[in-house]
Amino acid sequence: MNRSGITLVVLAGALCLAGAAVEAQWLNYRAPGVPRTPDGAVNLAAPTPRTPDGKPDLGGTWLDRGGYFGNLAKDLKPDEIVMLPWAEAQVKENQINLHKNDPMVGCLPPGVPRVNLGGSANMPHPFKIVQTPSLVVLLYETSTNQTFRQVFLDGRSFPTDPQPTWLGYSIGRWDGDTLTVETTGFNGRAWIDTGSGHPQTDAARVIERFTRRDFGHMDIEITIDDAKAYAKPWRAKVPVNLLADSDLIETFCENEKDIRRMERTGAAPR
């Protein structure tokens, strides 16, 4: 087991107790069909697996370990992300008030693309991809509550009058060996990342390009196109690693309950 215990999210003095964030939920379980080295270790450099129709198989449990959860724009030059004045002021305010307005403090969903970002060593947020020819499902273990997204590949169009949501509406297509996912229909309340708190509005369009480089490594290229918050679209690339022989677990968040109460109900180890 690679990580264990209870994950505590402390933002702006608010305590949000997430469910235990533990990799490798099935002890001593070796996933079938996984390429391995002679010593039994997972061969992360093995070729990308493919589905019967020849597409790259993106299935598996993944985690960003690069720290993009804190700041998606951390590798960008200043002229690559140009915020409108109100958005720049909000980011500065987030630093001053210690992120007390972060929606996740209130146990609300992290939004897109933040939901794909893996957190830190002490607060990992893995996600799982389940792939079919007409639908890709992304399952998330976050520091608030578990959630999911559906990416439709059946040729449908976006809803003409969508009900705004935290995670939006996602439509995908294959561009060679890359799955391109476009998401719109946001409610404008989510943040793009945690450390900086880059804002997102209801005009946002997020494009994610998933490219599995080999068995154990995948890149997610993210484009943020939100004319209400940014002077031009901006892009970031997030590498994620496969968590082989691992899976998700149930997570929850009760930011108004103290640890002792949760221990008494069996939510935390005694």
Per-residue confidence (pLDDT) for residue 268, from 0 to 100: 38
* CA–CA separation, 17 and 150 (whole Å): 27
Per-residue confidence (pLDDT) for residue 255, from 0 to 100: 59
Residues 4-19 have pLDDT tens digits of 333 333 343 333 434 4
Pairing of strands 147-152, 135-140: antiparallel
Residues 6 or more apart whose Cβ sits within 8 Å of residue 119: 64, 69, 125, 143
* CA–CA separation, 1 and 24 (whole Å): 5
Which residues lie across from 222 on neighbouring strands?
208, 236
The first and second tokens of residue 4, run together, are 């264990």
Mean pLDDT for 190-207 is 94
* CA–CA separation, 133 and 179 (whole Å): 12
Residue with the two structure tokens 């976006």: 158
What CATH class has 50-246?
mainly beta
Mean pLDDT for 28-46 is 89
Per-residue confidence (pLDDT) for residue 15, from 0 to 100: 32
Sheet strands (E) in the chain: 8-11, 14-17, 60-63, 119-120, 123-124, 127-131, 135-140, 147-152, 169-175, 178-184, 205-212, 217-225, 234-242
Mean pLDDT for 67-71 is 82
What's the chain's average pLDDT?
84
Per-residue pLDDT for 265 more than 70?
no
| Alpha-carbon separation of residue 140 from 60, 68, 247 (angstroms) | 12, 16, 11
List the alpha helices (DSSP H) in the chain.
Answer: 85-96, 259-264
Quickly state the pLDDT bin for 90 (edges 50, 70, 90): very high
Per-residue confidence (pLDDT) for residue 122, from 0 to 100: 54
Helices (H) and strands (E) in the chain, counts: 2, 13
Per-residue confidence (pLDDT) for residue 247, from 0 to 100: 87
Per-residue confidence (pLDDT) for residue 157, from 0 to 100: 95
Per-residue pLDDT for 151 more than 80?
yes
The first and second tokens of residue 127, run together, are 């996600």
Of 23, 20, 6, 62, the closest CA to residue 215 belongs to 62
Per-residue pLDDT for 256 more than 60?
no
The first and second tokens of residue 27, run together, are 């002890």
